[in-house]
Structure 1
Amino acid sequence: MNRKERNHFLKLFYDLGDFIRGFIGIVVAISFLINKIGFTKSVFIIVVLVIAVLIYKFLSWRKNFFIIKENSIYHEKGILSIKKIEIPFERINTIDISQRFLERIFKAATIKIDTGDTKNSGSELKFTLNKERAEELRDILLKKETDTDGGQQDKFYTMKPKGIIIYSLISNSVFKGIGMLLVAQQFFDEYLKRFIKIDISQYGDRLQNGSFYYRIYVITSVLLVLVFISVCLSIIYNFLKYYDFKMWTDNKKIYINYGAISKKSYSFDKEKVKGIHIKQSILMQCFGFFTMEIENIGYGDEKGEKAILYPICSSFLKNEIIENLLGEFKYSGIINKPKINASFRFFYKKVILWAIIGVICFFIRPKFVLLTLMILLFFLVLGYLEFRNTAFGMDKNLVYMGYNSFNKTRSILKMTAVQSVTLSRSYFQRRRGFCDYIIILYSSTASKVLKVKNLKDDVVDEVFR
């Protein structure tokens, strides 16, 4: 208590790494200076600049410290421009602990602290500390109590390897595998092609000279191989990401741990969870699986981060998690669906777009018009899913929303998380008594906007009468 604490020396190493990554600018400067003032003077100037940067980075690390007080945390950083902040413990919303590979070697960890202040983007405080100290600091800031729960047993959930495999197969993460393939192909073209000689022209000639059925066979085989490889890469990626996934809770807090190479540990108060998002890819909709995320300021607002509550679960497990962890999000109000006479509005823009594409294809080559029938089928399925998945409801405490097509989402949000409810409609919607409902949520980065379309325009009136 009341003593200055600084970042682990790895933080200084990371800062220097960022500097080295920008070294290309120094290389350009060197080549420019050599032509202007000569080699010796150029090297001298560059050495002085590098030393100055090293001194600045060290002083920045030295001047970046925090102090744990009785009921608050004080943070100060800066050399010329000094920034000071003091945050009471009760304002802390989320605490995240993560370990990158290098941090695991040196038994360090990065702790991120958020208060849920909507004026700030990303984590408000971030420190790299010894792992034991980071966990101790988390417990101090959250005031973890182990003896005040009346001996109630924690609710504990884990995800088995089978669940990770299913998630990899039916979630959108399979596209990450395709992305990895594209990266690998680009890497091969740029670096390995000069060392590994592969002549693919002979295969192209054989394919071009083969029969129609031979071409179909080869193309189908190649696609199947690519899909198989992308699925394997997706499974590997998700095993590394969600390895040893654990979620547990006590009376006040929820804890989430996962990760193989980069370990993640999240802790936040139940009361500060603003909502839950239940998501389904198209295959999840077919097989009855769900991904659960939460709306919690400070969690999921880092780059590449999702506010995961549970990666994949059945309908039974989903209901059990809500019942045991977040019972206040059990929505029992009226759920409004689009009327049959509103279904046209989910299709007409897509049909018009298809017609435009068809006309363009007709003038380019009439045979291409037949191919646009596949586009029309896609648009019709898209419109049908949007119509089926759209839903909206409100009561005094919760807002229920259903939206999207191939990536179906159901959001259940606390009314206190809603910044505004907007009713929007065009002239034709007004004539038929329809409108779009736009919900703006409080968020740490920017106001998050959720929208449902083509519902009756009297839903909100029923709640606020």
Structure 2
Amino acid sequence: MENSNKNSFFTVLKDSIQNIRDAIFVLTFFLIFLHSKLSTAILFASLDLIVSVIYSIFKWMYNTFYVNENILYYNTGVFFKKQMKIPCENIATIDTEQTFFQKIFKVKTIKIDTNSSGNDEELRLVLSDKNINEFKNSLTKYDTSSNDVSCINDSTPTDNSNNNIADENIIYSMDKNKLLKFASLKGSKVLMITIILYILKQINNKDMLNDNNINYISNTIKKSPLLFILVLLAPILILVLLKLISIIYYYAKFYDFKVIRNSNNLKISFGSFTKKSYNINLNNVHSVKINQNLGQQLLKTATINVSSFGYGDEDKEEAILIPHIHEDEINDLLEILFEKFIYNGEKFRISKNCKLRYKNARIGYNKNVLYLSGGILRKKINIITIECIDDITYKQYFFQRKRDLLKIVVNYKAMKASDLNVVKGLSKKHFKELERFLFLNE
């Protein structure tokens, strides 16, 4: 049996910060809601902090992991023990992340995911750079050739100036010009729409249109027309400011974006303040998604995402493979990485009577993949491997039956909530043909 290892002591420090916040809440609760004396409130807050810190230390001591005979063991629990066992051959991805504060303490978060659809995120560890490489080496002692785990060591060179081999392995890199275009096209639509709706609501409010307010506005215009113009322009200035914040955010988030191929694996790394690194086995990619918002459609550019266990599982995380690419370059990239996802066959479309509403609705298939397309303002194309499709269904409402139209729903492995798995406006004839092709081999 391998020697047991523990997370970095950084986890205790991180928990302690949370414990201090909790203690401040306890202090506030006793002072405001229970009207306790300051000394009593400090006493209970201190006890809460001490107990929490002691528990965090014990949790750090008893949370251990080791690799033995091709199985990764992870033990957790202080009062109630729990052991997780993960066969090494079931490991789909081993990814790393480093926040700004982790960089100071020279530690990283390592995330291990399996091919199991029941558990999107199996294990998270916080280790030093040295311990991460030792841990990965302990995994690769055993036969994990099916997933090529041995090819996803964090020491894979990414610096173009220091290693010519890395230059040859770089499939895609986003320079500052591409990054700025990508960040500009990513929007803060929700915030913008919310502000616009709020302003319209206030304008329609009858209380705002009374005589006193109208007289006040009229006097303000006479006294200071420049101030009034600035007030009118305030919503536009707010929208511009939100857009600038959005650009800065996405610029920092996807800074130095690179895709490096090493054998049958892809390493995707990016980030300025928080550096992230994801490793994807090409055999574990179940679908390729080509997304275009309205701006990208006008500029004929797109973002390519993938569906793979372990990538895009975290909250608000996108499984981006290529952030910014021209339409003409997509097939060339797929030929290099995912030749099986190239689809040049017939794409069935909906009735001409519904051309505008279902402008981009298409469906096509061959022996390898199912091609789905839909959306108007946000066009989405999803190319799914046939072998990973779990089921297909159709829904048809009353008015759709009148026009012989329906909605097709496809469920498949590693599918994310944001994936295009619904195509509207197709005929029942196309659904029956697809059903026979997928499940009856006709």
Q: TM-score, normalised by structure 2?
A: 0.79
Among 134, 146, 156, the residue aligned to 2:171: 156
For residues 170 and 381 of structure 2, what CA distance do their matches in structure 1 show? 24
For residues 174 and 262 of structure 1, what CA distance do their matches in structure 2 show? 20
For residues 299 and 88 of structure 2, what CA distance do their matches in structure 1 show? 44
Indicate conservation of the 8 Å contact 1:177/1:229, yes or no. Answer: no
Q: Which residue of 1 aligns with 2:109?
A: 110
Q: TM-score, normalised by structure 1?
A: 0.76
Indicate conservation of the 8 Å contact 2:289/2:304, yes or no. Answer: yes
- Pairing 1:415–2:429 present: no
Q: Which residue of 1 aligns with 2:62?
A: 63
Q: Which residue of 2 aligns with 1:283?
A: 295
For residues 245 and 32 of structure 2, what CA distance do their matches in structure 1 show? 44
Superposition deviation, residue 246 in structure 1: 0.7
Distance 1:129 1:256, change over 3 A: same
SS at match of 2:316: coil
Superposition deviation, residue 155 in structure 1: 4.6
Indicate conservation of the 8 Å contact 1:336/1:391, yes or no. Answer: yes
- Pairing 1:394–2:408 present: no
Q: Which residue of 2 aligns with 1:339?
A: 351
Q: Which residue of 1 aligns with 2:186?
A: 172
For residues 7 and 269 of structure 2, what CA distance do their matches in structure 1 show? 23
Superposition deviation, residue 19 in structure 1: 2.3
Structure 1 residues 345-384: Cα deviation after superposition (integer angstroms, max 9, x where no partner): xxxxxxxxxxxxxxxxxxxxxxxxxxxxxxxxxxxxxxx3
Distance 1:79 1:425, change over 3 A: same
Distance 1:135 1:312, change over 3 A: farther
Distance 1:211 1:120, change over 3 A: same
Amino acid of the residue matched to residue 284 of structure 2?
A: K
Indicate conservation of the 8 Å contact 1:257/1:264, yes or no. Answer: yes
Q: Which residue of 2 aligns with 1:381?
A: none
Distance 1:41 1:18, change over 3 A: closer
- Pairing 1:455–2:421 present: no
**TM alignment of 1:24-39, pairs within 5 A:** 24-31=24-31
For residues 448 and 311 of structure 1, what CA distance do their matches in structure 2 show? 16
For residues 418 and 192 of structure 2, what CA distance do their matches in structure 1 show? 32
Amino acid of the residue matched to residue 124 of structure 1?
A: E
- Pairing 1:134–2:149 present: no
Indicate conservation of the 8 Å contact 1:394/1:400, yes or no. Answer: yes
Structure 1 residues 233-280: Cα deviation after superposition (integer angstroms, max 9, x where no partner): 233222211111110113311110111110000001100011111111
Q: Which residue of 1 aligns with 2:16?
A: 16
Distance 1:89 1:83, change over 3 A: same
SS at match of 2:358: helix
Q: Which residue of 2 aligns with 1:319?
A: 331
**TM alignment of 1:84-95, pairs within 5 A:** 84-95=83-94
Q: Provide the identity percentage.
A: 26
For residues 66 and 25 of structure 1, what CA distance do their matches in structure 2 show? 34
Structure 1 residues 397-437: Cα deviation after superposition (integer angstroms, max 9, x where no partner): 21111122211111111123322100111233334332110
Amino acid of the residue matched to residue 129 of structure 1?
A: L
For residues 211 and 339 of structure 1, what CA distance do their matches in structure 2 show? 58
Unaligned runs of 5+ in 2: 141-147, 153-164, 197-215
Indicate conservation of the 8 Å contact 2:340/2:368, yes or no. Answer: no
Structure 1 residues 128-154: Cα deviation after superposition (integer angstroms, max 9, x where no partner): 1002332453464553259xxxx9953
Indicate conservation of the 8 Å contact 2:23/2:46, yes or no. Answer: no
For residues 163 and 406 of structure 1, what CA distance do their matches in structure 2 show? 22
Amino acid of the residue matched to residue 458 of structure 1?
A: K
Q: Which residue of 2 aligns with 1:304?
A: 316
Among 407, 410, 414, the residue aligned to 1:436: 407
CA RMSD of aligned residues (A): 3.4
Superposition deviation, residue 39 in structure 1: 6.1
For residues 237 and 204 of structure 1, what CA distance do their matches in structure 2 show? 37
For residues 43 and 246 of structure 1, what CA distance do their matches in structure 2 show? 50
Higher relative contact order (CA 8 A, sep 6+): 1
Amino acid of the residue matched to residue 9 of structure 1?
A: F
Superposition deviation, residue 80 in structure 1: 1.6
For residues 136 and 312 of structure 1, what CA distance do their matches in structure 2 show? 35
Superposition deviation, residue 124 in structure 1: 0.9
Superposition deviation, residue 450 in structure 1: 1.9
SS at match of 1:413: strand
For residues 444 and 412 of structure 1, what CA distance do their matches in structure 2 show? 12
For residues 241 and 32 of structure 2, what CA distance do their matches in structure 1 show? 46
Distance 1:321 1:258, change over 3 A: same
For residues 271 and 174 of structure 1, what CA distance do their matches in structure 2 show? 35
- Pairing 1:244–2:282 present: no
For residues 421 and 439 of structure 1, what CA distance do their matches in structure 2 show? 4
Structure 1 residues 280-337: Cα deviation after superposition (integer angstroms, max 9, x where no partner): 1101101101011111122111012110101111123322221111111112332111
For residues 42 and 411 of structure 1, what CA distance do their matches in structure 2 show? 57
SS at match of 1:402: strand
Q: Which residue of 1 aligns with 2:150?
A: 144
Comparing 225-234 with 246-255, greater Cα deviation is found at 225-234
Superposition deviation, residue 47 in structure 1: 3.4
For residues 47 and 233 of structure 2, what CA distance do their matches in structure 1 show? 60
Indicate conservation of the 8 Å contact 1:338/1:390, yes or no. Answer: yes
Comparing 395-404 with 106-115, greater Cα deviation is found at 395-404
Superposition deviation, residue 33 in structure 1: 9.5
Among 260, 265, 275, the residue aligned to 2:272: 260
Indicate conservation of the 8 Å contact 1:98/1:262, yes or no. Answer: yes
- How many residues align structurally? 396
Distance 1:276 1:228, change over 3 A: same
For residues 206 and 131 of structure 1, what CA distance do their matches in structure 2 show? 67
- Pairing 1:329–2:341 present: yes
